[in-house]
Amino acid sequence: MARESVEHLDALVIGAGVSGLYALHHLRGMGLSVAVCDGAGGIGGTWWYNGYPGARVDGPGSPFYCYTFADELMQEWDWAETQPSQAQVLAYLEHVADRFDLRRHIRLNTWIRNPRYDEAAQRWTVDTSTGGRISAQFLICAVGALSTANRPDIPGIDDFAGECLHTGNWPHEPVHFAGKRVGVIGTGSSGIQAIPEIAKEAAHLTVFQRTPQFSFPARNQPLTAAELASVRDNWDALKANMRNFNGGFPWPRNLRTAAEDTPAERQALFERLWEEGTLKFIVDNYSDLLTNKETNGMVADFVRSKIREIVRDPATADKLMPDHYVATKRPVLDNGYFEAYNRKNVTLVDLREDPIERITPSGVCTATGVCHLDMLVLATGFDAISGTFLRLNPKGRAGLSLKERWRERYHNYLGLMISGFPNLFMVHGPGTPGVLYNMPLGAEREIEWVGNCIEHLRGESLGAVEATPAAEAAWAEEVEGIANRTLYPLTDSWYTGANIPGKPRQFPVHLGGPHYFERLSQVAGSGYEGIEFEAARSEPQSALFV
Ligand code: NA7
């Protein structure tokens, strides 16, 4: 395709999700010329793609899964529920885009291809799926940590004759289950949210479960006017607490260990947390939940006893018993998941005892026979955290591709930069708290740091910024050192990359919470320790546009 001309920008942001929207707002506010490109037909990133039935915020809840950069957002936006639905979060992001006039610098239906660094120009060049070419001094990869759907490589999957949908790439048109025999493969967060909703409508639902999950009641309910007013009245203090407490939510963690309480006190705590629901079941649980196998085992036993209480058929309950360490796979919140197995129209297939052999045009063939289906829902998750960066596959110094650089492990510094890839910044990349932190707040804080780093570079009339390999090695030790004191690395999960065949095994999440952001401040305060700046080789090439 003939290319017209090259468009010059200060910064190109890839992705119009939660992170990309804020990156645009923040960098544009600094006076940079910025554009956001996104391949989707709408803004919202993960919240655009994951419109499956039952999709909701599954963190500690509303109204704190939100931006904090503009107080008027909290004052103006009426969150309706404690665990907002996908539609509500998407509406919020649409409101943010309008309120801050972001849309004029966002290009939808525009995929970025072949990003490559030009060492002489100290700039990135990319091609777009619409036939354009963009040159930008800074490439901001806000591509999402849960944005590349994992379509399992099950023999025959493409032969299925009925509708086959992935929860992470859900159609924007209405999907009807009524009168249909539906199969769901996967029982992570997405499957567990979708299953009770699909069960209400489908003629029959068969759930194919590979690993049983610990799931806790979401107890979603309307957010009352009084609750919202109280948050608004105390917003300054709550905002400060969000920054100070682990996880990016405004509550302190329980500091007690399980051994400090009697068995009766422990049981009372577990019961209270179960009744209250939400992810506080983890956050407010004993402080050694994720470091002490015995404590973890007590919590696991409690949840298993709850599953047995809820599920009436003992054989089905047996299949639903999780046997990994609680919360070392992403903890799940549900609205009636275990109860769904008491319905006559729901069947559970345990793939550990009856594995899938192939998918045929008419259904799923397991070791014991064929389950005939009209519709298949793949709730099989994502190539998480590193997957979308690797698909973007930028080429850095000397044409080295990210796929080569990350063949064995995800080398990075602060989770934000990669040596050999100057002027490229990741948001929620491997090495950040990312998926184990309040994601909108984490994005704001990471992007603020990136903005300050860019400001430093421009203030000193420098041309490029890059992490050193030595700083990356020390950072890897820091991230892994923290993780290795926990139970997380012991479990196969999408955190460790175990869900994608061939992925390097690495726990790439910084578990330090607020400590991570202190580290960012330290690095900036020390004159950007571990980072090299290169003198500018030429005059800036982009014009300010507004
Ligand atoms: P998850 O948590 O990765 O769950 C995917 C599920 O699909 C999980 O139960 C997997 O079993 C199962 N799976 C994956 N591949 C297969 C194959 N080939 N056969 C059978 N079962 C399979 O993804 P979600 O979308 O549910 O959640 C991701 C995040 O999105 C979540 O944390 C929320 O924050 C939003 P496994 O456990 O790997 O044995």
What pLDDT is stored for residue 543 in this prediction? 46
Closest by Cα among 88, 45, 42, 43 to 65:
88
**Ligand 1: which residue has its CA nearest to atom 33?**
189
**Ligand 1: which residue has its CA nearest to atom 31?**
189
Which residues fall within 8 angstroms of residue 472, CB to CB, at 6 or more apart? 411, 412, 413, 418, 419
- 330 Cα: distance to centroid of ligand 1 (angstroms): 10
Distance (Å, whole) CA 339 – CA 443: 36
Task: Give 474-530 pLDDT, tens digit per residue.
Answer: 999 999 999 999 999 999 999 999 999 999 999 999 999 999 999 999 999 999 999
Can you tell me which atom of ligand 1 is nearest the CA of 154? 18
What pLDDT is stored for residue 253 in this prediction? 87
- 381 Cα: distance to centroid of ligand 1 (angstroms): 4
**Ligand 1: which residue has its CA nearest to atom 32?**
330
67, 440 in Cβ contact below 8 A?
Answer: yes
* Helices 293-310, 263-276: crossing angle, 10 deg rounding: 60
Task: Give 59-75 pLDDT, tens digit per residue.
Answer: 877 899 999 999 999 99
Distance (Å, whole) CA 214 – CA 325: 9
Distance (Å, whole) CA 425 – CA 527: 18
Task: Give 223-255 pLDDT, tens digit per residue.
Answer: 999 999 999 999 999 999 999 998 999 988 899
How does strand 123-128 pair with strand 363-366? unpaired
* pTM tops 0.85: yes
Backbone phi, psi, residue 453, to 5°: -65, -40
Can you tell me which atom of ligand 1 is nearest the CA of 498? 38
39 CB neighbour count, 10 Å cutoff? 16
pLDDT at 372 over 50: yes
pLDDT at 544 over 50: no
1 band by pLDDT with thresholds 50, 70 and 90: very low
Task: Give 97-143 pLDDT, tens digit per residue.
Answer: 999 999 999 999 999 999 999 999 999 999 999 999 999 999 999 99
- 174 Cα: distance to centroid of ligand 1 (angstroms): 23
Tell me the residue type at 33.
Answer: S
378, 185 in Cβ contact below 8 A?
Answer: yes
Structure tokens at 8: 């010059």
- 301 Cα: distance to centroid of ligand 1 (angstroms): 23
Q: Which of 210, 359, 505 to mutate to test the pocket of ligand 1 (most atoms within 8 A of CB)?
A: 210
What pLDDT is stored for residue 62 in this prediction? 87
- 190 Cα: distance to centroid of ligand 1 (angstroms): 8
352 band by pLDDT with thresholds 50, 70 and 90: very high
Q: Which residues line ligand 1 (CB under 6 A)?
A: 58, 146, 152, 154, 167-168, 185-191, 210-211, 330, 351, 379-382, 494, 499
303, 326 in Cβ contact below 8 A?
Answer: yes
Percent of the chain having pLDDT more than 70? 98
DSSP per position, 457-481? HHHTTEEEEEE-HHHHHHHHHHHHH
- 383 Cα: distance to centroid of ligand 1 (angstroms): 10
Give the CA distances from residue 488 to residues 23, 330, 512, 515, in Å, rounded to whole numbers and listed in that order. 30, 10, 13, 18
pLDDT at 94 over 60: yes
Structure tokens at 267: 């049981």
Q: Name residue 202's beta-bridge partners.
A: 178
**Ligand 1: which residue has its CA nearest to atom 2?**
188
Average pLDDT, the chain: 96
67, 23 in Cβ contact below 8 A?
Answer: no
- 187 Cα: distance to centroid of ligand 1 (angstroms): 6
Task: Give 432-485 pLDDT, tens digit per residue.
Answer: 999 999 999 999 999 999 999 999 999 999 999 999 999 999 999 999 999 999
What pLDDT is stored for residue 546 in this prediction? 36
* Helices 18-29, 86-99: crossing angle, 10 deg rounding: 10
Distance (Å, whole) CA 124 – CA 126: 7
- 396 Cα: distance to centroid of ligand 1 (angstroms): 32
What pLDDT is stored for residue 252 in this prediction? 86
**Ligand 1: which residue has its CA nearest to atom 28?**
381
540 band by pLDDT with thresholds 50, 70 and 90: low
Listed in sequence order, the DSSP H helices in 361-438 are: 387-392, 402-405
412, 432 in Cβ contact below 8 A?
Answer: no
Percent of the chain having pLDDT more than 90? 95
